[in-house]
Structure 1
Amino acid sequence: MNDIPAPPADTSGADWPARPWLLAAIGGVAGLALQLIGSFDDESAAAAAAASFVFFAAFALGFTLRRERLAEVLVFALGLGTVMASIAWLAVAADDSRAGQGYAFAAGVFFSLLAIPLFQSDFHRRRWATPYAETHFFVWTDAVSAGGAFAFTLLAYALLWLLDALLGLVGLNFVESLLRTDWFAGLFVGASFGAALGVLRNQLAILGTLQRTVMLVLSLLAVPFALGILAFLAMLVVTGGQALWQATDSATPVLLACAIGCFVLANLVVRDDDASRSGNRVMQAAALVLALAILPLTVFAAISMGVRIGQHGLSPERMWALVAIAVACAYGVAYWVALARGRRAGWAEHLRRANLHLAVGSCVVALVLAFPLLDFGGISAANQVARLERGKVALADFDFEALRWDFGDAGRRALDRLAAGEGEVAELAADALKRSERYPDVRRPRDSGTLRFAFEDERLHGWVRGYVGDNPWTCAPACVALDLGRDGDRRRVAIVTGGSREIVAFREDGVPDPPVPVPAPPVPDADIAPSDVEVRPYAGRQIYVGGVPVGEPFE
C-alpha cells in the first residue's frame, strides 16, 4: 500500500482526543472576539489589527496544534497573528497615503498560507533537509481539512435554522432568540469550524487517502490541458504573436493563470515521490509538457505587460503584476533547470526539490512585500511624470486623475511639483489637486483627448476644462470649444458635439454662470387668420457642424 501517503511521524496529525474540544474552544473564543470587534463598527487601524491577530493566530493553531512542543506551536501561532496584525494596521492606517495596500495585505495572507505547512513539516528545524513529501502532504491535507471544516460549518448552520423552524411549530422560539443575539453567530461558527477541523486533523491517515484520490482525479485534466497549451504555443509561433500583442488588456492575467494551471497539474502527476507517481506514459508526457510550458507562458506574460507599460507607463497595480510575473518566471526557470539536471529519469525528483526551495523563497518575498518597504506608488508616479516630461505621452492623454487618486501621497506630491510650474500642465495639475471627488464611471474628456479648442487663450482653456470635468456629458464622445467673445463682463464659450451645443458664460474669476433654460416656444391660438402670419428678415449667428446647423441661433 505504498501508494497511500501516511502522515509524518511526530506531527499535528497524531491522534489526540482532546484536539476537537480544544479547537472548538479556540474557534468559539476567536469567533466571539471577531464578532465583538465587528460590532463596534470601527474601521480604525487598531480594530483591523485586532481582528487580524485573532483570526490568523486561531487559524494557525487550528492546523498546527499538537501535544509535542506545545510552547513552540503557541509561539508560531502568536507570532503569525502578530505579523498579520502589523500588516493590517499598516494597511488601514495608511488609508490612501500609500498605493496598493490591499495587495500588500494579500501578500501577507499568501505568506501565512506558505508558512503554516513549512512549520508543520519542521522546516524551521530541518531547513533544507526537510523531506518534500511532508511539506506537500501538509499543503494538500490542510486544504482538504479546511474545505471539510467549512462544509461542516455551513451544514451545521443550515441545520440550526431548520431546528428553529421545527421548534417554532410548537411555540418554542429560544433558537430564534439565540440567532438574533449579536454574540451567538460568531461563537457558533467558530466553535463548529474548530470542532470539525479538530476531528479531521485527528484523521490525517484517512485524509492522506482522500488526498491521493483527489490528486488522481484532478490529474486527469493534465492531458487535455497540455494539448491545449501545445496548440496555443504552436499558433503563437505561426502567427508571430500578433494576436497576443493586440490583446494586452487581458493577455497577462490569462497567461499567468495558465502558468499556474500548468504548475498545479504537473505536480498532480509528479506527486510526492516516484513510488506514488503515475506510471502512465501519456500522463508523464503531459506533466513534462506542462512543466516546460511554465517558462514560455510567463515570458509571454512579461512581454505583454511590457507592451502595456510601454503604452501607459507604470502604475501600482502593474508593479504588483510584475512581481507575480517575476515569481512565475522563477518557477519556470527552476523547472527548466530541474528538467535539464534530471533528464529523462530523475527530473521529477529535481522538480520536487525545486518546489521546496521556491516555496521558501516565495514566502520570504511575500513577507517583505507585505510591509511598506517599497513604495510602488512613488516609483509609478516618478515614471508617469518622466513620461510626460520626455513627451512619451501627450498632455491630452496624461491621467492627472490617477496621480491624484491612485498613487497615494507620492502621486499628490508629484502633482504639487507639476502645479508649481507654468503653463497648461500646471493648470491641469492644480485642477486635479483641488478636486474632492473623482468620476469613476465617466472618463473625463481631457483625459481621453476628446476635448479640442478652436482658440489659443490658455486661461480660457483651463476654465473650459474645469467645466467639462464637472459636466462630462457635455463632451461625449468628443467636442470642440469655440470662443464666442464677450457679452458684457462675461466670456462666452460654445461646447459643440456632433449633434448638440451648449453655451457657457464665464465670469472674470472663471466661475461659469448657471445654465439658462431655453424658453418654450409660445403656443399659438387655435384660431389663426392670414393677417397673423408674416415674413420678416433675420440676421444672426448659428453654429454649423459639417455644414449642418446645430441648435438654435445664439444671436
Structure 2
Amino acid sequence: MSVTEEPAGRGRFRPVMTLLGILAGLSWWGIDNVLSTVIENDRALLLVSCFAAGFFSVLLGMACVVPLRRAFAAAFVIAAAVASLLVWASFRYDTVGEFLGGRPLHALAAGCFVFLVTPFALVRALDRNPFRDYPTLFEETWSLVVRVVAAAVFTGVFWIVLWLCDRVLSLVGITAFGELLAEDWAAQMITGGVFGLSLAVVDEWRDYLSHELVLRLLRLMLPLVTAVTATLVVLLPVRGFREFGGLSPTGTLIVLAGLGVTLVTAALDEDENHEARGPWVRRAAMVMSLLLPAVAAFAAYGLWLRVAQHGWTPNRLAGALAVGALLAYGA
C-alpha cells in the first residue's frame, strides 16, 4: 500500500470524533454563556465546568483507541474525580474567584492529574494491566501525546486559513463569513469539530506519524542536555544558587530534571528491542541517569532554603511533590 492510499476500513471514526469535538465546544460555550447565568452557586458552576473540561479531554483522547462505551466510562470517572478535587480545594478560599484568580497552579495540577491518569485508563480499557504491561503503556502514552499535539497544531493552522479566507472575502465586500467566525458559539463549534476530526485522522495514519519519530528526535538532544547537566552538577556546589532572568533556581532545576527524565525515557523506549542503538545516545542516557539524583538533590536543597527563609506556600508544596517524584525516579 502506498503512502497516499487511503487505509482500508479507516475513516469510520471521523464523523464520531467530529461530533464529539463539536459537543465539547458547545458544552464549553453553553457553560460560559448559559449555565453561568442560571447557576448562582459558584462552586456548582466550577464543578460543572471542570467536569465538562475533564470529560471531553479524556473522551477525545481515548475514543479513537478503545470502544466508545469504555471511553465514556473512563472519562466520566476521571472527570468526576478531578472536578471533585478542585471543588474541594476551593473551600480553602472564601470565594471561587479567589481560588481561581492569579493561581494557575490549580489548573496545572488538574491538567497533570488528567494527563497522568488517562494513559493508565486507556491501557486498562484495552484489557491490559497498565502496571505490568509497560510496553503498551509506553506506546499508548506517547501516541496520545503525538495525537493531541498534531491535532492542536492542525487546528491552529486551520484557524489561520479561516482568517485568511475572511480577509480575502472582505476584499470583495463579503463580511458574513467573518461575522460568523466572530460568534463565540461558532468559534467553539469549529475549534472542537476540527480538533476532533484531526485526532481521528492522526490516529488513522499512526503508522506514518508515529511516536517513534518523536522519540528519535528527542534522543538527538540527549547528549547536549547531558553535557549541560554535568557542567551544572560540577559547578553548582562551587558557585552556589543564583537567580537569573527572574526565574527560580529550584524551579529551573526541576524543569531540567523533568527534561532529563523525558529524554532518558525516550532513549530507553518501551523495551530492549526498541531502545537507542547509537553509542553517543546510550552513553548519554547512562550518564544522565547518574546525574538525575544529584539534580533532584540540588533542587530539594534549594527548596529547603526557600522554605526555611519564607515558609510554605502552595507553589513550594507543589515543588516539593515534584522533587519527591524526581528523587523517587532517580532512586
Kindly state the Cα deviation for residue 185 of structure 1 after the two structures are TM-superposed.
0.9
- Distance between the aligned counterparts of 1:271 and 1:285, measured in 2? 15
Residue 259 of structure 1 deviates from its aligned partner by 1.0
Higher helix share: 2
Amino acid aligned to 2:32: G
Q: Deviations over 1:492-535 (max 9, x none)?
A: xxxxxxxxxxxxxxxxxxxxxxxxxxxxxxxxxxxxxxxxxxxx
2:257/2:326 contact within 8 Å kept: yes
For residues 159 and 99 of structure 1, the distance between their equivalents in structure 2, rounded to whole angstroms, comes to 37
Quick check: 1:222–1:265 contact (8 Å CA) kept in 2? yes
Change (3 A) 1:15 1:130: farther
User: Contact conserved, 1:45 with 1:88, CA < 8 A, in 2?
Assistant: no
One-letter code aligned to 1:232: L
Alignment partners' CA distance in 2, 1:293 and 1:329: 11
Once residues 141 and 235 of structure 1 are traced to their aligned partners in structure 2, the CA distance between those partners, rounded to angstroms, is 38
How many positions carry a matched residue from both structures? 314
2:33 matches 1:34: no
Q: How does 1:463-478 map to 2 (within 5 A)?
A: none
1:337-357 per-position Cα deviation (integer Å, ceiling 9, x unaligned): xxxxxxxxxxxxxxxxxxxxx
Shift of 1:66: 4.8
Q: What SS class does the counterpart of residue 204 from structure 1 fall into?
A: coil
Q: 2:143 aligns with which of 133, 141, 144?
A: 141
Give the superposition deviation at 1:30.
1.4
> Partner of 1:515 in structure 2?
none
Deviates more, 1:42-51 or 1:171-180: 42-51
Structure 1 pair 129–157 and aligned structure 2 pair: CA distance change class (3 A): closer
| Corresponding position: 1:275 with 2:273 | yes
Shift of 1:162: 2.2
Residue 131 in structure 1 maps to residue 125 in structure 2: no
Task: Identify the residue that residue 232 of structure 1 maps to in structure 2.
Answer: 232
Bigger-Rg structure (1/2): 1
The counterpart of 1:162, out of the listed 157, 161, 164, is 164
Report if the CA contact (8 A) 1:61-1:77 is conserved: yes
Match of 1:74 in 2: 72
Contact 1:63 1:201 in 2 (8 A): no
What's 1:265 paired with? 263
The alpha-carbon distance between structure 1 residues 67 and 317, as it changes in their structure 2 partners (threshold 3 A), is closer
Instruction: Work out the percentage of aligned pairs sharing the same amino acid.
Output: 23
Separation of aligned partners in 2, 1:243 and 1:255: 15
Alignment match of 1:107 (pick from 97, 106, 109): 109
User: 1:181-330 to 2 correspondence within 5 Å?
Assistant: 181-208=183-210, 211-236=211-236, 241-245=237-241, 250-330=248-328
Q: 1:262 to 1:180 in 2, by over 3 A?
A: closer
1:292 is displaced (CA, Å) by 1.2
Contact 1:44 1:93 in 2 (8 A): no
Seen in structure 2, the aligned counterparts of structure 1 residues 50 and 15 have a Cα distance that, compared at 3 Å, is farther
Give the letter for the 1:28 counterpart.
I
The answer to whether the Cα contact below 8 Å between 1:219 and 1:265 also exists between their aligned partners in 2 is yes
Q: 1:313 to 1:154 in 2, by over 3 A?
A: closer
Q: Structure 2: which amino acid aligns with 1:143?
A: V
The structure-2 alpha-carbon separation of the partners of 1:313 and 1:60, relative to structure 1 and needing over 3 Å to count, comes to closer
Q: 1:15 to 1:290 in 2, by over 3 A?
A: farther
> 5+ residue gaps in structure 1?
1-13, 334-555
Once the two structures are superposed, the pairs formed by residues 13-28 of structure 1 within 5 Å of their partners are 16-28=10-22
Aligned partners of 1:318 and 1:129: how far apart in 2? 30
Describe how 1:368-447 pairs up with structure 2 within 5 A: none
Deviation at 1:104, TM superposition (A): 4.3
**Alpha-carbon deviation of 1:218?**
2.1
Q: Answer 1 or 2: higher relative contact order, Cα 8 Å, separation at least 6.
A: 2
Q: TM-score, normalised by structure 1?
A: 0.52
1:59 maps to: 57
Instruction: Classify the secondary structure of the residue corresponding to 1:206.
Output: coil
Which structure: greater strand fraction? 1
Counterpart code for 2:288: L
Helix, strand or coil at the partner of 2:274? coil
- Offset, 1:102: 5.0
**C-alpha deviation, 1:301, in angstroms:** 1.2
Structure 2 stretches of 5 or more lacking a match? Answer: 1-7
Q: Which of residues 153, 156, 173 in structure 1 aligns to 2:155?
A: 153
Alignment CA distance shift 1:298-1:267 (3 Å) = same
1:531-546 superposed matches below 5 A:
none
Q: In structure 2, what residue type is equivalent to 1:190? A: G
Looking at structure 1, the residues matched to 198 and 85 of structure 2 have their Cα atoms a distance apart, in angstroms, of 29
Measure the CA separation in 1 of the matches of 2:212 and 2:65: 27
Decide whether the 8 Å contact of 2:180 with 2:186 is kept in 1.
yes
- Could you tell me how far apart the structure 1 residues matched to 2:126 and 2:316 are? 34
Secondary structure at the aligned position of 1:257 is classed as helix
For 1:159, the aligned partner's letter is V
Alpha-carbon distance in 2 for matches of 1:247, 1:173? 51
Tell me, yes or no, if the aligned pair for 1:223 and 1:282 is still in contact at 8 Å: yes
State the Cα distance separating 1:330 from its structure 2 match.
Answer: 0.7
In the TM superposition, residue 38 of structure 1 has moved relative to its aligned partner by: 1.7
Return the TM-score normalized by structure 2.
0.84
Quick one: distance in 2 between partners of 1:325 and 1:96? 30
Preserved contact between residue 302 and residue 322 of structure 1 (Cα < 8 Å): yes
CA distance in 2, matches of 1:67, 1:146: 13
Report the Cα offset of residue 222 of structure 1. Answer: 1.0
Match of 2:3 in 1: none
Give the Å deviation of 1:90. 3.2
Q: What whole-Å deviation, never above 9, does each CA across 1:236-293 have from its counterpart, x for those lacking one?
A: 4xxxx25325669832112212211211111222122222222222211100011111
Q: Residue type matched to 1:224 in 2?
A: L
> In the TM superposition, what whole-angstrom CA distance separates every residue of 1:36-65 from its partner, at most 9, and x where no partner exists?
222256692222222222222112111211
Residues 231 and 123 from structure 1, CA distance in 2 versus in 1: closer, same or farther, beyond 3 angstroms? farther
